Chains A and B, each alone.
Chain A
């Protein structure tokens, strides 16, 4: 049992050691192309002027805030169903990165909203749902940090993650309902489906770049976490041997 547990993380460490440098180079190149297009090529929006440049980072952050949660949900499933030790590690490491990206989605949205809506924050349905998502990330991190035993913490946070998966659509729906009830419909709504190709291409490249960045950070954090668990196990063996 124990031998199998450790075999896969070791293989994972070897694999990521060869893949990570390449992935980092690809990420940097994608960012270089994307940022070049955003700064020098992408046109200003006829309504929003140059502030539309915030969209090229805001939308990828919003996308990643959900992508991270989906990653965590998949890992949570892996933890509970297959009890795979790498799944624990993946879920635990995705949470702080997801929280950071969700925070950035909120912060860039706020910086975009101030010149466009004239206010830093509106209780718009989308913003409110993302805020609730951010709080859920923080709750998951708090749960992981509070339970000392890593295996038990992983299972508890896996259950909470899956409960969140079931609840997020309900929260989204109820916040939409709440918003239409309270909000006068004068609030500016974002572009919709009609987005020009000259904006779409840079946006997609930036979204790809940020997704790659997430992968790089996630893999690096997972390597750290595997080492941390090894150190923990070795310390325990050492302590048991010293008695």
Chain B
């Protein structure tokens, strides 16, 4: 257990020090959200309506962009081989790395989202709902994305391929995240229904991501 907590501390240190790029994702998120009104026009009613979707798309892209270094840095410096040979189960190692990665890059997105929601002219209820769905949904994106990161670990320019591989798999998270966020302000569906499914998807990807990611890492080393 102590090995895993040491790994978590190491990952956090690496991510938050100079050159770790933890806040780069949040910055990218800000820019994506800022660019949207230039595209669709400054109509505040429209922005309020599509706000949750924009925040979700921004968070999705920011998560994907930061994921390609999840295992690659370890592979480059040889740390991955040590982890593969170590006693800790690889699935748990992947899980811990994902959690650390989410804490360093996903959590800032969640914290930044209420401020960006104000730019989108969203109501307080919608802001709260969107932030809550992002809090539950972004870990799912990280876990699913870890599969892509593990599959493309040996490729020099895996970033774009990673996005192509992972985006179809994130469709359910996206659908239920945005649905829950809009259900909070619009009538027909209660908030709890899509939100519980979103939470279920998060838990499910928490199992699937580490198992598939670990399998991919094992075979990448062959």
Contacts and interface: CB of A to CB of B under 8 A. Distances in A.
Classify A-B as touching or not with yes or no (CB < 8 A).
Answer: yes
Interface of A: 80, 132, 135-136, 138-139, 142-143, 146-147, 151-152, 155-156, 159-160, 162-164, 166-167, 170-171, 173-175, 177-178, 181
B151 A174 contact: no
Contact of B189 (A151, A170, A175, A181): A181
A152 B220 contact: yes
B154 A135 contact: no
29 contacts: A132-B168, A132-B171, A135-B167, A135-B168, A136-B168, A139-B164, A142-B165, A143-B161, A143-B165, A146-B155, A152-B154, A152-B220, A155-B222, A159-B151, A159-B216, A160-B151, A160-B165, A162-B212, A163-B147, A163-B169, A170-B201, A171-B168, A173-B172, A174-B197, A175-B175, A177-B175, A177-B179, A178-B175, A181-B179
Nearest to B174: A174
A152 B152 CA distance: 11
A175 B175 CA distance: 8
B219 A152 contact: yes
A129 to B, nearest CB: 9
B141 to A, nearest CB: 13
A51 B130 CA distance: 45
The 4 A-B residue pairs with the shortest CB-CB distance in the complex, in nearest-first order: A174-B172, A155-B219, A178-B175, A174-B175
B164 A156 contact: no
B176 interface: yes
Indicate the size class of the contact surface on chain B: 20 to 34
Contacts of B168: 132, 135-136, 139, 164, 167, 171
A182 to B, nearest CB: 9
A159 B197 CA distance: 25
Q: Which of A135, A159, A166 has the most CB of B within 10 A?
A: A159
Nearest to B151: A156
B164 A175 contact: no
A151 B201 CA distance: 32
A146 B158 CA distance: 9
B113 to A, nearest CB: 22
Nearest to A182: B179
B220 A156 contact: yes
Contacts of A163: 147, 169, 208, 212
A72 to B, nearest CB: 15
A158 B147 CA distance: 12
A159 B215 contact: yes
B131 to A, nearest CB: 21
A91 to B, nearest CB: 14
A174 to B, nearest CB: 4
Contacts of B167: 135
A45 to B, nearest CB: 33
Contacts of A171: 168-169, 171-172
Most buried by B among A138, A162, A170: A170
Contacts of A181: 179, 188-189
Nearest to B166: A139
A79 to B, nearest CB: 10
A156 B215 CA distance: 9
Contacts of B169: 163-164, 167, 171
Contacts of A132: 168, 171
Interface string B185-222: 00011000010010001001000100010011001101
Contacts of B152: 143, 146
Contacts of A162: 212
Given A139-B168, A142-B164, A156-B151, A178 B222 contact: no
Given A139-B168, A160-B151, A174-B172, A166 B179 contact: no
A212 to B, nearest CB: 30
